[in-house]
Chains A and B, each alone.
Chain A
């Protein structure tokens, strides 16, 4: 076999297994050995080159526009935009709105029950808060202050709930105050809620507590959003609404004969 024949073998058979004849020639010919070794080097490096390269995203955008312009896309399907976060909040809010409405209905039912009940059957209710109401109510509602531990915070809602006028004022205040201040006035009332005694039906009580838990989860979510983006007005608005509902719910719970212990 000659060097020229080796070339022909490499051309037709590639770099795979060579015949015994070809191997015999290679063993004696340094030139053909060099050729084969170089081919192996070239192929080895070529196989390390990337066979796939990510094209820029603009190519598809441009191609798609062209496909639409030519009418090749017959059913334009917009790539679904990622849902804005407030959509998930809205979804989250719906069951809470239902729960709040339920709480409202229960409040009305409870009010009717208590107003039509004979006075001597009214249970003795300890309306005094478990903590000393030392700071003024107004300050606790409107003044900026960090969240206050339940044991030392003013019992704003508890106090407000005793007088309709004050309650109304308190609720309005909650709705319009900066959200950062709202958790503090509600904390003591909420803190006492697990100790409230059942005055009416057990299922009603459970429903109140469930609503409170749901509202708290929602408030926590709004607060997290606001912490991430303090300029998020929608989150602020939802948080205001949630606090208002929480205040109403706590007031409803107390007005319906649940006392602190």
Chain B
């Protein structure tokens, strides 16, 4: 694993994403509860939160909670656990906010904490499938899904939809899942993911490729299973007609 470093591009990208999403969040929240002062920048809110300002805590929460919740939900697949994990991540963030010096983007810092909290929880659950080390360490290539070169391919084109993709994402090992969700769903770049996960950019790319390859296999299994079910149903129907 690599040490986390400040990457200027990362910061700009993260801020751009936050800004583009915060407008919608403000509108929705304004209907639910008094909106925090919109004139604050994230940096101002961080400074105020470091002084223990409650409104600043809430401002930062409103700014990032939707993205963090989406990540937690995809990682654990269960709303109750996702809420619990998100609360834990924000709590850790606020406990340590006094030490935040802005070396990396605030959102990267928050996502790093979130990923750590989630992975720790999943580790405690001791999943019977791939271990986390296998999927996060750079030398985990031996456990990577292998393509059976030369075997007849089942094309997924047109067969992938949101439902079977979500279901397949849930079956991914946590490390693959994290990188896939961060990159392909949430739109983070590899340097940001490397910063969040504390690994190299190359490792992030490798994890993503393996995640996609594994997803392809899972989806192909789903499509085959679906085709089998359809054949069985058709046979049953023709048998009953005879």
**Chain A residues packing against B (C-beta within 8 Å):** 3-4, 7, 10-12, 14, 30-31, 34-35, 37-39, 41-60, 62-64, 66-67, 70, 72-77, 79-80, 82
Within 8 Å of chain A (Cβ to Cβ): is B238? no
Main secondary structure of the interface of B (DSSP, over half): helix
Q: Pick the contact of B54 from A46, A47, A64, A66 — CB < 8 Å?
A: A64
Q: Contact at A74–B52, with CB atoms within 8 Å?
A: yes
B209 touches which of A10, A70, A82 (Cβ 8 Å): A10
B67 interface residue per 8 A CB criterion: yes
Inter-subunit contact B65/A59 (CB<8 Å): yes
Residues of A within 8 A of B86 (CB): 55, 59
A63 and B70 in contact, given A10-B209, A11-B206, A55-B65 (Cβ under 8 angstroms): no
Query: How distant is the Cα of A259 from the Cα of B212 in the complex, in angstroms?
Result: 92
Take A42-B216, A59-B86 as given contacts and tell me if A54 and B28 are in contact as well, using a CB distance cutoff of 8 Å. Answer: yes
Question: Would you call B52 and A48 a contact (CB within 8 A)?
Answer: no
- Nearest Cβ distance between residue B190 and chain A, in whole angstroms? 8
A contact face: mostly helix, strand, loop, or mixed: helix
Which residue of the partner chain, among B33, B51, B67, B153, contacts A30 with CB atoms under 8 Å? Answer: B153
Considering the chains assembled together, what is the distance between the CA atoms of A80 and B159 in angstroms?
51
Complexed CA–CA distance, A10 and B34 (Å): 48
In-complex Cβ contact of B91 among A7, A39, A66 (8 A): A66
Of residues 92 to 128 in B, which have CB atoms within 8 Å of A's CB atoms? 94-95
Instruction: Enumerate chain B residues within 8 angstroms of A37, measured Cβ to Cβ.
Output: 155-157
- Bound complex: CA of A57 vs CA of B91, how far in Å? 16
- Beta-carbon contact of B149 and A60 below 8 Å: no
Pair A42/B160 contact, Cβ less than 8 Å: yes
User: B185-242: which residues lie under 8 A (CB-CB) from chain A?
Assistant: 185-187, 202, 205-206, 208-209, 212, 215-216, 219
B216 with A12: CB separation less than 8 A: no
Known A-B contacts A39-B216, A42-B165; the reply to A49 vs B153 at CB < 8 A is no
- Output the nearest chain A residue to B153 by Cβ-Cβ distance: A34
